[in-house]
Amino acid sequence: MKIQFFAGALLCCIFASCIVGCSSNDDSIVIAPEADASQFVVLTDVVPDVILEIRYYSTYNFIGRRIPGYDEPIAMLTRQAADSLKKVSDDLIKQGYRLKIFDGYRPQKAVDYFMQWAVDANDTLMKQYFYPELNKAVLVPQEYIAEKSGHTRGSTIDLTLFDMATEKEVDMGCTYDYFGVASHPDVQPGQTIGAYKPISQEHYDNRMILQKAMMDHGFKPYDCEWWHFTLDNEPFPNTYFTFPLSRKSLE
């Protein structure tokens, strides 16, 4: 009887152990909030008209290398942000434009990499293209680079306009990710501050076309970057996500 009882108890322990730790049922897996991609979508699945130029997947960015966490050249956003951007796209298509996307959701791993790069004074490979008027040492103090990014919350997008008539990207006066006053959306045509080249009236008007369309559909602009917008009622204002930029994250 003792042997039978011991054997039965052992089987119960093994069975219970498998229920707790060995189950293949996905519902039993606990995912940390910052690793949960279930409320995200691949942007082109919602807004098929956008053009993608995911800079951090390429080497043409302010660092000059592909950035960790960008496993695929795709853009991802929260469902709410993607739905709102669909309205922006539909609006602008009527005006003869398409949206060109540089970045959407950004994994925290990428932001950490930016911070590591920022403290390496000798790594200035892309300075002439992205921060010619600034010493690299000021990029963090002046908040061009920070430990936390709105992109990591999933409802921020970096984008520009593509003119369907000319079949060219619209000229906004300075490149995406330019670190300097010229990138500020409210800088006035002809205004000279420091050493940067002033933008023209056409540049300013182009920026306002993009800004108006984004604000009309629930996005708020950022006062230092003409390309950067965040959904006003973002669903995860306090969560900085960690999953990689990949369709596999949605599986």
Q: Tell me the mean pLDDT per 10 residues along the chain, length 251.
A: 39 34 50 97 98 98 98 98 98 98 98 98 97 95 95 98 98 95 90 77 97 98 97 98 98 94
Strands 51-52 and 156-163 come out as unpaired
103 beta partners: 158
Asked whether the beta carbons of 226 and 211 are under 8 A apart, the reply is yes
The CA distance from 156 to 80, in Å, is: 11
pLDDT at 194 (0 to 100): 66
The DSSP code for 67 is P
Q: What is the pLDDT of residue 136?
A: 97
Ramachandran bin of 181, using left for φ above 0, alpha for ψ from -120 to 50, beta for the remaining angles: alpha
Instruction: Give the pLDDT of residue 30.
Output: 86
**Which member of 167, 225, 234, 251 is catalytic?**
225
In terms of pTM, does the model score above 0.75?
yes
Is 72 a known active-site residue?
Answer: no
How far is residue 181 from each of residues 92, 144, 186, 197, 226, measured CA to CA in Å? 27, 11, 10, 9, 11
* Residues in Cβ contact with 134 at an 8 Å cutoff, skipping those fewer than 6 apart: 142, 144, 179, 180
Sign of the alpha-carbon torsion through 174, 178, 182, 183: positive
Distance CA 82, CA 245 (A): 15
DSSP SS3 for 190: coil
pLDDT of residue 191: 83
